[in-house]
Every structure is written in structure tokens, then in C-alpha cells.
Structure 1
Amino acid sequence: MRKKIALIVVGVLAVLLVWQWEYVSYGYRQARGQLRIMLNTQPVAEVLANPAYPDSLKQKIELIREIKRFAIDSLRLDPSGSYESFYDLKGQPLMWMLIGSEKYRLVPVEYHIPILGTFSYKGFFDRDRLTEADTALRKQGYDTRISEVAAYSTLGFFKEPILSNMLSRTEGSLAELIIHELTHGTLFVKDNLEYNENLADFVGEYGAQRFLARKYGVNSTIYKDYLASKVYYERYDDHVLRGTQALDSLYGTFKPQTAETVKDSLKWKMIRQIVSSADTLTDERSLSGVRSVKKRQLSKLNLPNNAYFIGYLTYRKQQNRFRQEFESQFNSDFGRYLTYLKQTYPSL
């Protein structure tokens, strides 16, 4: 009887393995990438005590620890064991993110990850698997976009290390990144990626501004450059989001009988207009401030496709909503606002 039950269990597992092979294979490779990181980290204390590491690196590590303490003590983000170890990427990317979108609609390709929910992007530690997935999407007629991932959160399942690629960031950018990821570990709503990423961006920027004001003072160049970058990117956000609305309206005019050549011509004409008109945005940042965030710029040499705009909506569409809610309903009291969010949106 036991043998029969065992054979049934093995048979069911075999069927599930074949049926869900894509998830099993993807999960295995992601777990292998995560394990590689975990097995090759060093405690921060060892790095700080090692004379082989330059003082500039150690200063940035100390800054990260200070940002984390601020996020926990002042913003009341959940305590975390993250950022107490160091992982040297040796100049290589941490991982890549693949976004897919329908060709003539701003509708993302979605991926269901067990437990965590539905995502409009997919992360890869393995460059070959990334290329295969990108090629498969393009063969199906989707627009795609690949970008390097600077950091990610495991939502408290593992302790994230400080990554060597973080240390080249400016103080404001670094504070944003650390607070963004700690926000994910504090509140992450299943099946609502746009909400999660927009919230983490909002908290990251709010927290970074407060941290810089406290550490360097409101008259410091670091703080003023950070504020100028936020003003510039509010204009940039508005510009790109207006562009997505224009694209959405254009795609709504397409009929089933509209020739693909006509659709392509109108689509790329609209995208070129969005890119070209970005040059009119005024910018009060200093040279150092411009250099620190320039890679977000729309490129005339490599025109963005629908996947770029999908990615932008995922991270930036709801910024005004959070800001208005925070200021008008909670009088800019972040502690009350965070308590409200936790009570309203149960986290994983």
C-alpha cells in the first residue's frame, strides 16, 4: 500500500514538473543566482577592517549603514538584516530585467510568480536565458526592453548585501535606492506591481530628501542638486506620461484592417515627437547633478518602444497620487501615512 502511495506521489510530482517546467526551470536558475550571491558575501565589519579596500569604498559603506539607520529610526520602515554584508560584482551586472509589451497597445506581457503574484517584468541572473526570453517575445511580435538591475528586494526572505555597483552612486541616488528597497521589505501588496513600485519610488525620494537635509544641511550643494534633480524629473515624468497618453490615444484609432506599415509609421512618428520635445525641458541642476541621473534621458539614437513606456508607467504613474494623499490627508506626517498604508493594504 505504501509503495502504491509513493508511486502515485512520484507520478503526480512528475506530471507537475512537466506541466510547470518553465516555472521550475526559471525558479531553479534564479535560486542558483541568489545562492551564488549569498555564498560570496563578506560581513561589512571585515570589509571595513581590510586595508586592501580603499577609504572611498569604506565611506560609501558607512553612508549606506547611516541611511539604513535613518530609514528605520526616522521613517519607521521595518528593521532588516539587509546591508550588513558586501558582495563584489567585479564590474559585472547584478542581473537584468526584461519587459515586454504589445506592439500597438500599452499592455505589458505579464508573468505569474507563485506566492508573490503577477509582474510586468521578469528578472534574470543568466544572460543566455535572458537572450532566449527576449528573442521569444520579439518573435511573437512584442516590443521588448532589457535593462540592468542595480538592486532588488527579496521582501525579507533573504538578507540583501551591499553591492559594489551601488558605491558609484551619488549620496542622493544611494539614499533613494536603499530606502526604496527597504520600503519593499516593509509593504508589498500581492498582484499590484505598479502600486508597489510607485510607492517605493515615492518613499525613496521623500526619505532621501529628508536624509540629505539632516546630514548635509539645506544649504549644501548635495542637497540643492538633489532638489533640482527632483524638480527636473517632475517635468520629465509629466512629459513622458503625457507621451504615454498620446500613444494610447493613437493606438485606440487603429482598426483591425489598418495596415501594419501604417501603424508602424504613425507609432514611430509619435515616439520621435515625444523624444524630440523632451529637449525643451528646463534643467537647473549643476554639472554633477546632471551627470548623476543622465541615463534616464530619452535617446534619439535608440528610440524607446512601448516596453520603455510600460516600464515608466510601472514606476512613475502614481507619484502625484501618493504625494497629494500624503500632504492633503496626512499633513505630511509620514508616520501616520505609513501606518495608514499598512492597515489599508495588507502586505505579503
Structure 2
Amino acid sequence: MLKKITLIILGLLICLVIWQWELVSYGWMQAKGQIRILWNTKPVTEVLSDPVYPDSLKQKIKLIQEIKRFAIDSLGLDKSGSYESFYDQQEKPILWVVTAAQPYQLVARQWNFPIIGTFSYKGFFEKDRADSTVTDLQREGLDTRIGEVSAWSTLGFLNDPILSSFLNRPEGSLAELIIHELTHGTLFVKNSLEYNENLADFVGEYGTLQFLAQKYGTNSIPYRDYLATKVFYDNYDEHILRGTRMLDSLYRTFKPTTQTVIKDSLKWQTIRQIVESSDTISDQRSSIRVRKIKKRPLGKLNLPNNAYFIGYLTYRKQQNQFRQEFKNRFGGDFNRYLTYLKQTYPSF
């Protein structure tokens, strides 16, 4: 009887693997990538006491520890075991993210995952697997984008390490990154990726300004540099979001009978206009490492596509909503606002 039950269970598992092979294969790849990283991390205490590591690296690690303490003690983010270990990437990228969108609609391809819900992007620890996915999506006629990722959060399921690439960032950018990811571990609403990323961006930026002001002062170079960078990118983000509204309005004029050649011509003409007009945005400091659209000959192959604009909708569309709610309803009291968000939007 036991043997029969075992065979039935085994048969069901085999059927499940066959039925959900893509998901199982993807999950195995993700697990391997995470395990490889976690297996090769070193405790921060060990790195700090090792004379092999330069003082400049150790100072950045100590700064991350300060940022984390501030995020927990002053901002009220949840306690976390993350950023207590160190992983040396050896100057190699370790994660790529693929996004895709309809060619004549600002509608993202969605991927569904157990427990964590629906995402409009897919991460890969293997570059060839990411490239293969992009090829498959392009065969479906979708606009695609692939990019390296500097950090990610396991949402509290694992203790995320400090990556060596973190340490190349200036103080403000580093603080924003750490606070952003710790926010994901504090509040992450299932099937609400746009909400989650916009919230983490809002908390990351607000928390960074508070941290820099407390540690260095508002007249310090780290504070003024970060604020200038933030102002620049706020303006750039708004420019791109205006561009998404232009594209959305254009796509809504397309009819089923509109020829593809006409749709393509109007689409790329509008995108080219968005790119060229981005030059009007002023930069208050020359040292900003601009993430703007790179200036190349503006042929179709060098222009961003709908997948690029979808990224801005995912991360930046709701910024003003959070800022206004924080200021108008909660009078700038962040701890009260965070308590409200936790109670209103339960995290898994």
C-alpha cells in the first residue's frame, strides 16, 4: 500500500513538472543563483577584520551598517538580517532583468510566480537564459529590454548580502539603494508591483535625505550632491512620464485597420521627439552619472521602445501620490505614515 501511494505521489510530481516545466526550470535557475551567491559570502565582521581588504572598502561597509541602523531605528523599517555578509562580484554582473511590452500599447508582459504574485519583469542569473527569453519575446512581436541589475531583494525570505558593486556608489546613492531594498522587506503587496516599486523609491529618497542631513548636515557635499541629483532625475522622470502619455494617446488613435507601416512610423517619430527634447533638462552638477537615454544616431534600432517606458510607469508613476499623501494627510510624520501603510496594505 505504501509503495502504491509513493508511486502515485511520484507520478503526480512528474506530471506537475511536465505541466509547469518552464516555471520549475526557472525556479531551479533562480535557486542555483541565490545559493551560489550565499555560499560564497563572507560575514561582514570577517571582512572588516581582514587586512587584505582596503580601508576604503571597509568604510563603505561601515556606512551601510549605519544606513541600515538608521532605516530601522529612525524610519521604522522592519529589522532584517540582510547586509550582514559580503559577496565579491569580481567586477562581473550577476543578474539581468528582462521586460517586454506590446508594440502599440503601453501594456507590459506579466509573469506569475507562486507566493509573490505577478511581475512585469523577469530576473535571470544566467545571461544566455535572459538572451534566449528576449529572443522568444521578440518572436511574439513584443518590444523588449534587458538590463543589468545592481541589487535585488528576496523580500525577507533570505538575508541579502552586500554586493561589491554597492561600494562604488556615492553616499547618497548607496543610502537610497539600501533603504529601497529594506522597504521591500518591510512592505510588499502581492500582485501590486507598481505600488511596491513606487513606494520603495519614495521611502528610499525620503530616507536618504534624512540620513544624509543627520550624518553630514544639509550644507555638506554628500547632501547637496544627492539633492541636486534627485532634482535632476525628478525632472527627467517627469519628462519621460509625459512621453508615456504622448505615446498612450497616439496608440489609442490606432484602429484595427491602421497599417503596420503607418503605426511604426508614428510610433518611432514620437519616441524620437521624446528623446531629442530630453536635452532641454538642465543638470546642476557635472558629476551626475546620467542614466538618461544615451545619445547615439537616432535610428530605429538606437531608440528606446515601449519596454523602456513601461519601466518608468512601474517605478515612478505614483511618486507624486505618495509625496502628497505623506505631506497633506500625515503632515510629514513618516512613522505615522508608514504605520498607516502597513495597516492598509498588508504584506505577505
TM-score with structure 1 setting the length: 0.97
Residues 272 and 300 of structure 1 are in contact (CA less than 8 Å); yes or no, is this contact kept in structure 2? no
Query: Which secondary structure state, in structure 1, belongs to the residue aligned with residue 320 of structure 2?
Result: helix
TM-superposed deviation, 1:300: 3.5
Residue 299 of structure 2 corresponds to none
Residue 213 of structure 1 corresponds to 213
- 2-structure distance, mates of 1:328, 1:169: 33
TM-superposed deviation, 1:224: 1.0
Which range moved further: 27-36 or 10-19? 10-19
- 1-structure distance, mates of 2:143, 2:233: 25
Query: Which secondary structure state, in structure 2, belongs to the residue aligned with residue 112 of structure 1?
Result: strand
Alignment partner of 2:292 out of 278, 297, 300: 297
Residue 287 of structure 1 corresponds to 286
Kindly report which structure 2 residues correspond to 1:120-269, keeping only aligned pairs within 5 A, or say none.
Answer: 120-269=120-269
- 2-structure distance, mates of 1:261, 1:3: 63
Kindly report which structure 2 residues correspond to 1:13-32, keeping only aligned pairs within 5 A, or say none.
Answer: 13-32=13-32
Query: Which secondary structure state, in structure 2, belongs to the residue aligned with residue 287 of structure 1?
Result: coil
Write the letter of the residue equivalent to 1:4: K
Which range moved further: 104-113 or 3-12? 3-12
Residue 61 of structure 1 corresponds to 61
- 2-structure distance, mates of 1:94, 1:198: 24
TM-superposed deviation, 1:263: 0.9
Moved over 6 A (4+): none
Report Cα offsets for 1:2-38 as digits up to 9, x if no partner: 2222222121111111000000000000000000011
TM-superposed deviation, 1:275: 0.6
Residue 73 of structure 1 corresponds to 73
- 1-structure distance, mates of 2:283, 2:92: 32
- 1-structure distance, mates of 2:328, 2:103: 39
Write the letter of the residue equivalent to 1:154: T
Write the letter of the residue equivalent to 2:173: S
- 1-structure distance, mates of 2:50, 2:216: 28
CA RMSD of aligned residues (A): 0.9
Write the letter of the residue equivalent to 1:222: P
Kindly report which structure 2 residues correspond to 1:107-118, keeping only aligned pairs within 5 A, or say none.
Answer: 107-118=107-118
Query: Which secondary structure state, in structure 2, belongs to the residue aligned with residue 98 of structure 1?
Result: strand
- 2-structure distance, mates of 1:339, 1:62: 29
- Residue segments in structure 1 that go unaligned for 5+ positions in a row: none
Kindly report which structure 2 residues correspond to 1:46-57, keeping only aligned pairs within 5 A, or say none.
Answer: 46-57=46-57
Kindly report which structure 2 residues correspond to 1:81-100, keeping only aligned pairs within 5 A, or say none.
Answer: 81-100=81-100
- 2-structure distance, mates of 1:85, 1:3: 45
TM-superposed deviation, 1:88: 0.2
Which range moved further: 109-118 or 298-307? 298-307
- 2-structure distance, mates of 1:180, 1:77: 10
State yes or no: 1:325 paired with 2:325: yes
Residues 275 and 299 of structure 1 are in contact (CA less than 8 Å); yes or no, is this contact kept in structure 2? no
- 2-structure distance, mates of 1:231, 1:159: 32
Report Cα offsets for 1:111-151 as digits up to 9, x if no partner: 00100000000000011111110100001100000111111
Residues 44 and 86 of structure 1 are in contact (CA less than 8 Å); yes or no, is this contact kept in structure 2? yes
- 2-structure distance, mates of 1:32, 1:254: 44
Write the letter of the residue equivalent to 1:224: R
- 1-structure distance, mates of 2:33, 2:343: 34
- 1-structure distance, mates of 2:294, 2:259: 27
Report Cα offsets for 1:140-199 as digits up to 9, x if no partner: 100000111111110111000100001000100000000000000000000000000000
Residues 201 and 315 of structure 1 are in contact (CA less than 8 Å); yes or no, is this contact kept in structure 2? yes
- 1-structure distance, mates of 2:10, 2:263: 51
State yes or no: 1:276 paired with 2:271: no
TM-superposed deviation, 1:108: 0.4
Report Cα offsets for 1:264-322 as digits up to 9, x if no partner: 111000000001111111222x223x13xx1x202342311000000111000000000
Residues 47 and 58 of structure 1 are in contact (CA less than 8 Å); yes or no, is this contact kept in structure 2? yes
- 1-structure distance, mates of 2:56, 2:262: 54
